[in-house]
Structures are given as C-alpha cells and as structure tokens.
Chain A
Amino acid sequence: DQQVKQNSPSLSVQEGRISILNCDYTNSMFDYFLWYKKYPAEGPTFLISISSIKDKNEDGRFTVFLNKSAKHLSLHIVPSQPGDSAVYFCAASGGSNYKLTFGKGTLLTVNP
C-alpha cells in the first residue's frame, strides 16, 4: 500500500523552461512534506519542505505547492538547468513521527 505516489517515472524539459513534478498522498495524518534530489551513486539530498499549515514555500528557483484537500503537492523549478537533472523524491511524515515515507521518484532530465 503506497501512501506517497509519484505517478510520473520520468520528465524531460528544455533548459530555461519550468519543470513541474507531482506527488500525491493518501494518509491524512501526514502533515509535513519534503522533496529530495538524488544524483546517481549518491545519497538523496534535502531540497525543500512544507508544513501542512502552508500552501506554498519558495526557495530560490524551487517552489513547493501543497493542496491539502486534494492531497497533492508539486515541485516547480524555474528556470530549469541541466544540473537539475536527477531523480526527485517526494516524502511525507506525520505528527511527531520522524519516519519519512517516500515515493518512487521521478527522473528529471533537463536538456540544454
């Protein structure tokens, strides 16, 4: 039973354009959401997070939007750069539980 779903295994965009990565969740107890980026042969690195009390959080080129009623979040990267090419994981946690539940990841390829 997958509680965090990333339905697009891959996404390809042109350099300079917007990348939009999507994530859906089913567990209503989740109240904190994160995005991690992973390059090959490396561990995931934290990118950005959002609490359920907000609907948007922005950090430079990266913005995460949360729609609680739809149980959906998205990561926007503007403008996309070739160095952004990586696997992006959506993750969620609930309450005071430190355990993160991850999605399967989306491979983003930014073409020069």
Chain B
Amino acid sequence: EAGVTQFPSHSVIEKGQTVTLRCDPISGHDNLYWYRRVMGKEIKFLLHFVKESKQDESGMPNNRFLAERTGGTYSTLKVQPAELEDSGVYFCASSQGRDFGKLFFGEGSRLTVL
C-alpha cells in the first residue's frame, strides 16, 4: 500500500513568489491534514479536510495560504505571496475516520523563502 506522498520534497523561492505544495493521501482515507514545522519548534496544525470539505482551517496563518482538495483525493497548499516566515517543513497526513489520532504522515515538503 502506498503511503502519503508529497511533492516537491524541497522548494527554494524568493519572497513574493508563489509556491504550490501537493499531497496524495493514502487511498481510501477521507481525512487529510496539513501541518507545519518551523525549525526547531512544534508541529502545528494548519487545516483538516474530510473528503473535499474543509472541516477545520483554524490553523491557517493568514489569507496568503489557500488549501484545496479536489474531488476528495489529492490536496494542494498554495502560498501566495510567500514571506520569509513561511519557511519550514509542511507535512501532509491522512487517516481513516475510525483510527482517530493515528495519522499517516508524508515525508514533508521543505519550503525555503529567501
């Protein structure tokens, strides 16, 4: 069974540019999450999809961040325009509804904003 896959693994952009991160969850997982870890700090929740619907987006930092989940399958997280403080590792995770809390994480997309 394929795990959660994320692309790109590393992106380096300049302040003001746009970046789009993609996540493919485990097939059949209705729940999809985005988390972010800024260097040395805790992993912070960004948002939660159930199928194609945003269940909770309370962790999204501001309106420069836009997440979508097309048809309840893969998800994208767009940062536009990127700022220096957006640098960090963005993790995507998915889960079955009954396995509450047991998230399967991808390897993360490292974003560096110069």
Contact = CB atoms under 8 A, between A and B. Distances in A.
Interface in A89-112: 89, 91, 93, 97-105
B93 interface: yes
B75 to A, nearest CB: 15
Given A41-B107, A43-B106, 11 more contacts: A32-B100, A42-B108, A43-B93, A46-B104, A89-B42, A91-B101, A98-B101, A100-B35, A102-B43, A104-B40, A105-B42
A43 B107 contact: yes
B108 A43 contact: yes
A85 to B, nearest CB: 18
A97 B105 contact: no
A32 B40 CA distance: 24
Interface of B: 4, 31, 33, 35, 40-45, 48, 55-56, 58-59, 91, 93, 95, 100-108
Nearest to A9: B40
A63 to B, nearest CB: 18
B42 A99 contact: no
Given A4-B42, A98-B31, A43 B100 contact: no
Contacts of A98: 31, 33, 48, 55-56, 95, 100-101
Given A34-B101, A44-B91, A46-B102, A99 B58 contact: yes
Q: Chain A interface: which size bin?
A: 20 to 34
B42 A100 contact: no
Q: Which of B33, B40, B105 neighbours the largest number of chain A CB atoms within 10 Å of its CB?
A: B105
Contacts of A80: none
A43 to B, nearest CB: 3
